C-alpha cells in the first residue's frame, strides 16, 4: 500500500529551474528582459531565450514584449506568484544550508530543536542576513538536553527549545507558541466527522510517528498518559518529511506541529481534526547560559525572533 507514485515525467522536467524562475521574477520587477538579464548576471539574449523556452514549456505566454519593455501577461502574473513561492522556499533552503555548512569557524552558533530548526530558523536567518550581511551562522539540531549541553559547554551562543520548562543553568524567553495537531489526508474518514476527537480515541489509534526520542512524540505521550498512553505506532519514520509524506498518501493519522503543516493545511492536502479537552500547546523559547547574555549577532537574532525590529 501507500507510496510508489510513479510519475512518468519527473517534476524537474515540468517546472522551470530556479534560475529561470529568478529571471522571471526579475523581469516582473524591472519591466524589461535586458534589465532583468543584467540583474541576474547573464546577457540579454540568454534571458530572451530562457523566457522563451519557459513559455514553450508551460504552453502559455508570460510576458508582453514591446519595443519599450516587457510586462507580465495575466497568466504571467499568476505564474510569477507561484514562482515566488518556489524561490522563497529555495532561499530558506539556502539559509539553512549555509548555517549547516559553517559548523567549524563561524561566528554565531545556534543550537535548536528539530521543529524550530526545520521550520523557523531558515526564515530568521534570511532576515538576519538582510540586517547583518556576512554573519556566518552555524546550526546544530537536537532535543532540549542536547541544546542545553551545547550552551553550557560554550559550544553554542544561542539556543531554541520547545517545551514546558527551561533547562537548569539557562535563562530563557518565550518567543512564540506552537500546537500539536492531529492531521489526516482529506480522504480519511476522520476528515468528515463533526464531533471533536476524544483523547481516549486518539490514544487508542495507531499513529504514524517520528522515531522514539523526538520532542513531539514525548509531548504527545505525556499528554495522553492519563488516557492510556499512546498505542503502538502504525509506522515509525526517521524524519518529519517522511511522516508527512505518509499521511498525505493516506497511510493514516499523525500528530505534528502546526508549524510543520500550515502549508499542507491551507492547500487542503491535509486536514486537521479538532481534539477535545487536551491542549497540546507548547511554548517556543530562546535560551542561553545564565552567565552569558546574548550579545552581537546572537542578540540580533533574539530580537528578530521576538517580532521586534533590529537595533541598527
Binding site for DNA (CB under 7 A): 17, 19, 32-35, 41-46, 48-53, 65-70
Q: How far is the CB of 18 from a copy of itself (least distance, A)?
A: 4
68 binds, among a copy of itself, DNA, none (CB under 5 to 8 A by kind): DNA
Q: What is the DSSP string of 12-45?
A: HHHS--HHHHHHHHHHHHHSSHHHHHHHHTS-HH
Instruction: Give least dist CB 232 to a copy of itself, A.
Output: 21
In the complex with DNA, the residue whose CB is nearer, 28 or 255, is: 28
CA angle 116, 214, 302 (to 5 degrees): 20
Shortest spacing between CB 79 and a copy of itself, in angstroms: 6
Partner touching 53 among DNA, a copy of itself, none, CB below 5 to 8 Å by kind: DNA
Closest distance to DNA from the beta carbon of 144 (Å): 32
Looking at the Cβ atoms of 5 and 68, the one nearer to DNA is 68
Nearer to a copy of itself by Cβ, of 140 and 289: the residue is 140
**Of DNA, a copy of itself, none, which one sits near residue 134, judging by CB under 5 to 8 A according to partner kind?**
none
Beta pairing class for 271-273 and 170-184: antiparallel
Instruction: Write down the least CB distance from residue 258 to DNA, Å.
Output: 34
For residue 88, the partner it binds in a copy of itself, DNA, none, with Cβ less than 5 to 8 A by kind, is a copy of itself
Residue 173 dihedral angles phi and psi, to the nearest 5°: -140, 135
> Would you say 34 or 199 has its CB closer to DNA?
34
Q: What separation in angstroms does the CA of 71 have from each of 53, 63, 149, 186, 299?
A: 17, 5, 55, 39, 43
Residue 120 interacts, among DNA, a copy of itself, none and using kind-specific CB cut-offs from 5 to 8 Å, with a copy of itself
Q: How far is the CB of 24 from a copy of itself (least distance, A)?
A: 10
Complex with a copy of itself: residue 87 or 200, whichever CB lies closer: 87
Q: For residue 298, give the nearest of 199, 159, 191, 193 by alpha carbon.
A: 159
Q: CA 31 to CA 147: how far, in whole Å?
A: 47
How many other C-beta atoms lie within 10 A of the C-beta of residue 300?
Answer: 21
Q: Which is nearer to a copy of itself, 7 or 168 (CB)?
A: 7
Instruction: Say if residue 30 is exposed, middle or buried (CB neighbours under 10 Å; 0-12, 13-18, 19+).
Output: middle
Query: Directed axis angle between helix 296-305 and helix 121-131, to 10°?
Result: 120
Cell numbers that stand for 232 in this block: 503502538
235 binds, among a copy of itself, DNA, none (CB under 5 to 8 A by kind): none
Residue 46, C-alpha cell as written in the block: 540568454
Amino acid at each position: 500500500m501507500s507510496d510508489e507514485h510513479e510519475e512518468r515525467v519527473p517534476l524537474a522536467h515540468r517546472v522551470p529551474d530556479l534560475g529561470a524562475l529568478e529571471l522571471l521574477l526579475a523581469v516582473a520587477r524591472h519591466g524589461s528582459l535586458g534589465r532583468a538579464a543584467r540583474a541576474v548576471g547573464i546577457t540579454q539574449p540568454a534571458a530572451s531565450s530562457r523566457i522563451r523556452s519557459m513559455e514553450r514549456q508551460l504552453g502559455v505566454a508570460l510576458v508582453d514584449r514591446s519595443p519599450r519593455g516587457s510586462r507580465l501577461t495575466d497568466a504571467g502574473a499568476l505564474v510569477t506568484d507561484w514562482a515566488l513561492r518556489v524561490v522563497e522556499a529555495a532561499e530558506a533552503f539556502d539559509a539553512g544550508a549555509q548555517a549547516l555548512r559553517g559548523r567549524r569557524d563561524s561566528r554565531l552558533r545556534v543550537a535548536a530543536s528539530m521543529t524550530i530548526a526545520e521550520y523557523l530558523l531558515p526564515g530568521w536567518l534570511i532576515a538576519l542576513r538582510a540586517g547583518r550581511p556576512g554573519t556566518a551562522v552555524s546550526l546544530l539540531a537536537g532535543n532540549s538536553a542536547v541544546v542545553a549541553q551545547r550552551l553550557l559547554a560554550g559550544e553554542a551562543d544561542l539556543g531554541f527549545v520547545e517545551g514546558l520548562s527551561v533547562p537548569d543553568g539557562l535563562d530563557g524567553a518565550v518567543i512564540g507558541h506552537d500546537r500539536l495537531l492531529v492531521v489526516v489526508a482529506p480522504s480519511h474518514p476522520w476528515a468528515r466527522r463533526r464531533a471533536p476527537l476524544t483523547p481516549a480515541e486518539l490514544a487508542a489509534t495507531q499513529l504514524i510517528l517520528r522515531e522514539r526520542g523526538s520532542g513531539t512524540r514525548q509531548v504527545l505521550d505525556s499528554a495522553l498518559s492519563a488516557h492510556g498512553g499512546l498505542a503502538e505506532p502504525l509506522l515509525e519514520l526517521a524524519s518529519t518529511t517522511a511522516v508527512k509524506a505518509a499521511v498525505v498518501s493516506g497511510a493514516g493519522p499523525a500528530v505534528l506541529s502546526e508549524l510543520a503543516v500550515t502549508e499542507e493545511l491551507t492547500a487542503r492536502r491535509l486536514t486537521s481534526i479538532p481534539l477535545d479537552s487536551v491542549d497540546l500547546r507548547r511554548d517556543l523559547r530562546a535560551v542561553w547560559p545564565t552567565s552569558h547574555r546574548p550579545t552581537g549577532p546572537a542578540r540580533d537574532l533574539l530580537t528578530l525572533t521576538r517580532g521586534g525590529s533590529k537595533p541598527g
